[in-house]
Structure 1
Amino acid sequence: MSVTIGILGKQKNQPPQDSSHQTRLQNLRLKRKITTVLVKTPEDLLRCDALVIPGGESTTIALLARLSGLLDPLKEFTQTKPVWGTCAGAILLSQSVTNAKKDGQELLGGVSVDIARNGWGSQVESFEAPLDVKGLHDSSTPFTGIFIRAPVVLGLAPDAPIQVIARLPPHLLPEPAENENDPRTIVALRQGLHLLTTFHPELTTDDRFHDYFARKCVFPTVPVS
């Protein structure tokens, strides 16, 4: 049985990160076929077994979702289906956000973290870093994390069933960390069906994070007919 993974649709004047996610998912060579669909309406979302929320501007994503009638369906979807948020998508998946814009930030929730927007500052502070990632194929080979106006995880809810998948070395943080367990070092984590990455795996040619999402989060929720 094929699996349909939606990618929340393109925003005006934003880079084509949603199509990059489509390319990575469609190029995976797995035992189960993956079909992708751009999600721009509630009807599109109904076709999906899982969803990827790409990068961009989190407040704009939320506003456009509300204007298209998608915000409430997205909140309902997040309660029962696998969702992966990258960068701005990670903000939308979070339980709370620090440094929100003046008018606030609508969230989908789903992941029990507090996160800060633009944790490293403006786009000129963008950077790349090799990441040791638990659970990927060939985990001995670092994954190149591309951080563009990336959010920073500030804290995890007590006793939340969160699995930390990847951390940055403390010296790469915008402000020094006292130890390697500082939550600000967390750049990838999983809670139940949900995956959160503060960087952009889709902007590399390395498809191991997309493989991880499909195998670990999506396939177990869709029975084989």
Structure 2
Amino acid sequence: MSPSITIGILALQGAFAEHQIRLQNLRLKRKIETVLVKTPEDLQRCHALIIPGGESTTIALLARLSGLLEPLKEFIRVKPVWGTCAGAILLAQSVTGAKKDGQELLGGVSIDIARNGWGSQVESFEAPLDVTGLQDPSVPFTGIFIRAPVVLALEPDAPIQVIARLAPHLLPEPAEDENDPRTVVALRQGLHLLTTFHPELTQDDRFHDYFARKCVFPTVPGVVVG
């Protein structure tokens, strides 16, 4: 019998319940179990982890208070992790525009990112995205951007695969170059997936399917990708 796969969702603050629903709705050949991660012991049960949207400084503070900060950093070194919105900030190598007391990061993805790139919550918006590697790629994915961060720079020599960009005219300061790093809204680096928007707030499970099939399944012994 094929082993089940356990995907954790960091459940300290933010939209973790919505990620759990999306994962539970997947119809894959391999069974996925979900764990709401609140302790180091919860994390040890997981083959992979999702860090949800929310408030990145609050998530980092609660992780430290829960004894999770260092276990999370170690987990990220060896296992697949997906960060959405605030989770994307926490996975970044560096952050621009951090709060006065600074921003503790988990690292793992070689980018510089800016918090609240579009301003306050009233500047939230939706946009259709063409995403490389999703099921039914001809069908755009609806990106929901809520106080979304903006990617400012990709480390030149890092093995980063850009899988979705935003139209340049939709940026806070419109860009003429469609390859401007600020247009990047979804990317992969090794085992890690990063999205600056909220796939979990849609009824579209394709990003969760992508994370499971492309990032998680290949790392679990005995699991056939498919």
TM-score range, shorter chain: over 0.9
Q: Which runs of 4+ in 1 moved over 2 A?
A: none
* Residue number in structure 2 paired with 1:66: 64
Task: Name the residue aligned to 1:114.
Answer: 112
Give TM-score, length-normalised by structure 2. 0.97
Partner of 2:161: 163
Structure-2 residue corresponding to 1:5: 7
2:32 paired residue among 34, 49, 59: 34
Residue of structure 1 equivalent to 2:194: 196
Query: TM-score scaled to structure 1, two decimals?
Result: 0.97
Amino acid at match of 1:102: K
Aligned-partner SS, 1:138: coil
Matched residues in 1 for 2:80 and 2:12: separation? Answer: 20
How many residue pairs are counted as aligned between the two chains? 221
Deviation at 1:10, TM superposition (A): 3.9
Alignment of 1:1-225 (within 5 A): 1-11=3-13, 14=14, 17-224=15-222
2:94 is matched by which residue type in structure 1? Answer: S
The CA distance in 2 between the partners of 1:123 and 1:178, in whole Å, is 26
Corresponding letter in the other structure for 2:22: R
Distance 2:104 2:6 in 1: 26
SS in 2 for 1:92: helix
Please list every run of 5 or more consecutive structure 2 residues that lacks an aligned counterpart in the other structure: none
- In the TM superposition, what is the alpha-carbon distance from 1:224 to its structure 2 partner? 1.5
Give, as a single letter, the amino acid of the residue that structure 2 aligns with 1:212: Y
**Residue aligned with 1:97, SS:** strand
- Look up the equivalent residue of 1:52 and give its one-letter code: I
Matched residue type, 1:224: G
Distance (Å, rounded) in 1 between the aligned partners of 2:137 and 2:68 = 36
What SS does the corresponding residue of 1:102 show, helix, strand or coil?
coil
Q: RMSD between aligned alpha carbons?
A: 0.8
SS in 1 for 2:119: coil
Q: Unaligned 5+ residue runs, structure 1? A: none
**Match for 2:4: what amino acid?**
S
Q: CA deviation at 1:178?
A: 2.3
